[in-house]
Amino acid sequence: MDMVKVIIDGVQVEVPKDSTILDAARIAGIDIPTLCYLKGINAIGACRICLVEVEGARALQASCVYPVSDGLVVHTNTPVVREARRINLELILSNHDRKCLTCVRNQKCELQDLAERFHIKDIRYEGERIDYARDELSPSIVRDANKCVLCRRCVAVCASQGVSAIGPVERGFRTIVAPAFDMSINDVPCINCGQCIQACPVGAIKEKDDIDKVWLALQNPDLHVVVQTAPAVRVALGEEFGMEMGTRVTGKMAAALRRLGFDKVFDTDFTADLTIMEEGTELLGRIKNGGKLPLITSCSPGWIKFCEQFYPDFLDNLSTCKSPHEMMGALLKSYYAEKNGLDPAKVFVVSIMPCTAKKFEAQRPELSATGFPDVDVVLTTRELARMIKEAGLDFAKLPDEEFDRPLGESTGAGVIFGATGGVMEAALRTVAEIVTGKPMEDIEVKAVRGIEGVKEAEIQLGDMVVRAAVAHGTGNAKALLEKVKSGEKEYHFIEVMACPGGCVTGGGQPIVKAKDRMERDPREVRAAAIYEEDRDMPLRKSHDNPEVKKLYEDYLGEPNSHKAHELLHTHYVARKTY
């Protein structure tokens, strides 16, 4: 790697030739403030908060986009630099809705952090303000343009997803980030993935808050309220309570949910195992019987909506399996209700998910196997944290508790659903043993792990070679599907997750500020915790789950049976892209 030497605030540092001043400063241990910059997503120099002095340049320069060169001399803390940053920050604040105490991002806001850093106690530039109506029509996402700082991070991440549902419209002072033609986010091809929420430095975009619906259900004596938690929640929830990124809080999470008043606490990992039984059988059936290939996974609702909108010609390739939490909801209102003498109409199912798209998914009319919605309410990881705080629970001091049984047993294969490549790996662990009739020698399929945008693998299963691919982020999925359409690539099985990194960095997970993303990649840190939990599980293959076996023996019959299709499978619809 070619290196160059630069001098920053009198310190000489050697950095890669393709670095920016911002990169070089961090290597030198200097924290240049940023607002619009988001590593790997957005580097446009728009906010002018990261200004520095470069010797020989006529004006201050945005450090996030200024490339280094050998012998470059930079000053980051002169009076001129500090005053310019302060003025730019005050100008941003002058047209910002500063109702911080009632904002969902209070004390977690990057603009608030900057105001504290620069000791902003008053705004010198009060002027005209434009008041915008909030866009609350989407079941997943709320937009409040009054809080927007025009950083365009949401625009960049939406474009990287291959969607571009939002962008800057109007000009000058009237510029706003919004869908075109003053449309609601609900009326454009938004896939509800919530990556815009993760990217936003302030509270201009947030998830639709459904906490009150759950509190009301818990207070209703006529309802039997049950809750389930997705695998990725357990490796992120602790961050909301000051724990290190990637801390596993599975047992404390179960304890907290009981103390909130839920009648039963189940693990969505159980139906992740069930998904592997259904989807693995579906894959083998398509391969043996000349079915539509490649089979593409269906557990990511953001990906499903992306496919319905932009690639409807691939709908027949999608697995007919419902996502794991929808499978669980269907079982809770059928098998579980029958077993416990409960009226399905009185069983209220709450899903705790890392995902905002699952709020949209829960409203899909086709996901109502018993005549009632399979899932009544979806809460994000962040919403659950707010409920725990509101209830006054000291999360860190809670004891570790188990999930309820049945429908609470799970394997390591179920937990790795939370990371990109996890569904593929879990399926291969089971399919390999079904095909060969003997255990896999190494059940950790490293070829499908990691954060590379598209991963490929060929797996020898007896006399059969399965060609597989994994894509995370719908932008990567788009590139992969184009190669499949053109005939450049052929696969038997494809896993797609809408969110970069998979569910561990879903739109409903704890937000990681831009500054922290420069130091650690949450996709890697949280995924590492997922794989740790897998290795610690006594059972690591879905077909070894005793409760899954009993469910088939007592109720479903066998994978892909008529009963299983009634409860656990669904269909998809082509959607307009407007």
Give 71-121 pLDDT, tens digit per residue. 999 999 999 999 999 999 999 999 999 999 999 999 999 999 999 999 999
The model's pTM is: 0.95
3-93: CATH architecture: Roll (3.10)
Q: Helix, strand, coil proportions of the chain in percent (round to 5)?
A: 40, 15, 45
Residue of 141, 132, 260 lying closest to 209 (CA atoms): 141
Q: How many CB atoms lie within 10 A of CB 107?
A: 9
Question: How many residues would you count in the chain?
Answer: 578
> What's the CATH fold of domain 95-121+132-207?
Alpha-Beta Plaits (3.30.70)
Among the listed residues 190, 196, 499, 503, the single catalytic one is 503
203 close to 147: Cβ distance less than 8 angstroms? yes
d(Cα 173, Cα 83) in Å, to the nearest integer?
Answer: 23
The question of whether 147 is a catalytic residue gets the answer no
212-568: CATH architecture: 3-Layer(aba) Sandwich (3.40)
The question of whether 355 is a catalytic residue gets the answer no
The question of whether 366 is a catalytic residue gets the answer yes
Q: Where are the domains of the chain?
A: 3-93, 95-121+132-207, 212-568
Among the listed residues 240, 278, 282, 495, the single catalytic one is 282
The question of whether 14 is a catalytic residue gets the answer no
64 close to 51: Cβ distance less than 8 angstroms? no
d(Cα 197, Cα 185) in Å, to the nearest integer?
Answer: 13
The question of whether 547 is a catalytic residue gets the answer no
Among the listed residues 55, 366, 519, 553, the single catalytic one is 366
111 close to 117: Cβ distance less than 8 angstroms? no
The question of whether 402 is a catalytic residue gets the answer no
- pLDDT for the residue numbered 462: 80
Q: Which residues of the chain are modeled with pLDDT < 50?
A: none
Among the listed residues 207, 239, 240, 279, the single catalytic one is 279
The question of whether 319 is a catalytic residue gets the answer yes
The question of whether 361 is a catalytic residue gets the answer yes
- pLDDT for the residue numbered 578: 65
Give the contacts of 538 (CB within 8 A, at least 6 positions apart).
Answer: none
